[in-house]
Amino acid sequence: MKVVIDGSIMKKVYLLAFVAAIFSGCEQDEIEIIKEVEKQYTWQGYVGFEQEYAIQMNSFATESNFYSLGPNTFSSMLPNGVTDQFGFSYHHHFLFDELSTRYKFPIAADFFITYTEKEPTQIRLGANKNPNTYTSGRPAALTLSLPEIDETFNRFQFVNYSNGPSFAINNRDQALVVYSSTESSINQVKALLLDVTTYENSNTVFVDTVKTKVISYPGAHSAMVALQAVEENFFFSPYYSETYRITPNGDQVKVLDNCLMDIFEHNQVLYGISYDGLGYVSVDEGLTWQKRFELQPNFQDISFAKIDGKIIGFAFSQIFEIFPSLSTIEVKELDNYGLAGKKITSAVEFNGKVYLTTLSGVYYKDLKDLSVEKEVAN
């Protein structure tokens, strides 16, 4: 007699009870038990990011470290097979205060920026190596009070986490922080440009600013729609009908009469996605833009990352490979088996693998398998 055990019956107690019942009633029969082999997910969950560490809002990777930021932790991971002096391959550092999961905050190679609603006029810049270390009573993290820099400060401006970080860091370790000010009963959007530096003292890394510059925008706008850093420049939309470019010197110029929700670079060309579903192209580092194509509905909801020289997009639990040209953008949906119901928040390449942070953990797969196309259900 052949007995087939369904793969959903996983607990030993049920299996033993079922087999015992068969033996008692069919003692003379030959029994063959076949257990279905459970299919392995192609995207695997990283064991260090579970339970209270599952929610991760953003990530950044260098050759030697993976960093991620959750609502109450800053986490770091070493390459496979590498451990620190305590034998650990990853660490979770608890932050001073819990961060809101409505917003995403940026991470760079040496520092990151956060904000807590408990201190609504301040931002904190922490060192990646030691986010919460104190030395002789002095915090390694730098806290900036905006009213001390600009007395007209009213409140910070944020975008929803699905539209990207609410602060931006460029490749020169400069940060751009957008806020609203009130002067003579007029609300206006301003931006604070920070030149950030880190230095080490007694094996502790400290964060400081070299200089700051306040940038004002014309008109009486009081909201921020989009903000991002592309290489050394920043792009900022204080309204749905305009986009500005800010250089490392703090010079700003209006570059488009439309709001670019996201911008990515490919082969020295910038591609901009507007809030109304149009595709723009720039060949001069974002100084001028040309409208080239109309995009599929909801394409502006996709976030982008460069992985192994490829443009990877993600939205909700879906992943895409993007193939841009000067005349069109083609999209291939990639395998996401194991990510169902997971809201992806960031994607980075680290140590031969692709890591995705989500609101339900960190997931990974080998880099060589990234471009595998999603199977079409019959």
348 lies in some domain: no
Structure-token pair, residue 12: 């030993």
Residue 356: exposure state from Cβ atoms within 10 A (0-12, 13-18, ≥19): buried
For 2, list phi and psi in degrees, rounded to 5.
-105, 130
Regarding whether 244 and 165 lie in a shared domain, the answer is yes
For residues 68 and 75, is the Cβ–Cβ distance under 8 A?
yes
Q: Are residues 14 and 137 in the same domain?
A: no
| Same domain assignment for residues 31 and 163 | no
Location of structure tokens 């009070």 = 145
Q: What is the mean pLDDT of residues 37-43?
A: 77
For the stretch 235-259, pLDDT in tens is: 999 888 899 999 999 999 999 999 9
The answer, yes or no, to whether residue 140 has pLDDT greater than 90, is: no
**In whole angstroms, what is the distance from residue 34 CA to residue 3 CA?**
7
pLDDT for res 18: 39
Distance CA(64)–CA(107), nearest Å, equals 15
> At residue 91, what is the residue type?
H
Residue 265: inside a domain: no
| Per-residue pLDDT tens over the stretch 193-246 | 999 999 998 888 999 999 999 999 877 576 788 999 999 999 999 888 899 999
Q: Taking the CB of residue 222, how many other CB atoms lie within 10 A of it?
A: 17
Do 248 and 115 share a structural domain?
A: yes
Q: Tell me the pLDDT of the chain averaged across its residues.
A: 87
145 forms beta bridges with 122
What is the DSSP secondary structure assignment for residue 42, as one 8-state letter?
S
Q: Determine, yes or no, domain membership for 204.
A: yes
Instruction: Please report the pLDDT score of residue 152 as a whole number.
Output: 95
Looking at residue 14, what DSSP letter applies?
H
Query: Do 14 and 130 fall into the same domain?
Result: no
The Cα 91–Cα 106 span in angstroms is 19
Same domain, 24 and 117: no
Residues 6+ apart with CB under 8 A from 218: none
Q: CA-CA distances (angstroms) from residue 144 to 201, 204, 356?
A: 21, 20, 31
Residue 51 resides in a domain? no
The answer on 106 and 247 residing in a single domain is yes
Q: Tokens 């390459």 map to which residue? A: 79
What pLDDT is recorded for position 10? Answer: 38
Q: Give the whole-angstrom CA distance, residue 61 versus residue 350.
A: 6
Same domain, 238 and 124: yes
Residues 125 and 15 in one domain: no
Global pTM?
0.86
Containing structural domain, residue 16: 1-38
Residue 4: predicted pLDDT: 34
pLDDT tens for residues 66-79? 999 999 999 999 88
pLDDT, position 83: 74
- Label residue 8 by pLDDT band (50, 70, 90): very low
β-bridge partners, 156: 179
Is the confidence at residue 298, as pLDDT, over 50? Answer: yes
Q: Do 13 and 135 have their domain in common? A: no
Q: Is residue 172 a part of any domain in this protein?
A: yes
| Count of domains observed in the chain | 2
- Rounded mean pLDDT of 11-33? 43
Q: Which of 252, 282, 303 is the last residue of a domain?
A: 252
> Which of 233, 252, 271 lies at the terminal end of a domain, its last residue?
252
At 134, the pLDDT band (50, 70, 90 cuts) reads: low
User: What tokens appear for 307 in the block?
Assistant: 């992985």
Is 116 a domain residue?
Answer: yes
Residue 201 belongs to a domain: yes
Residue 189 counted as domain residue: yes
Q: Are residues 144 and 11 in the same domain?
A: no
* Least-confidence region, from 56-65, 210-219, 242-251, 363-372: 210-219
Model pLDDT, residue 300: 86
pLDDT of residue 231: 97
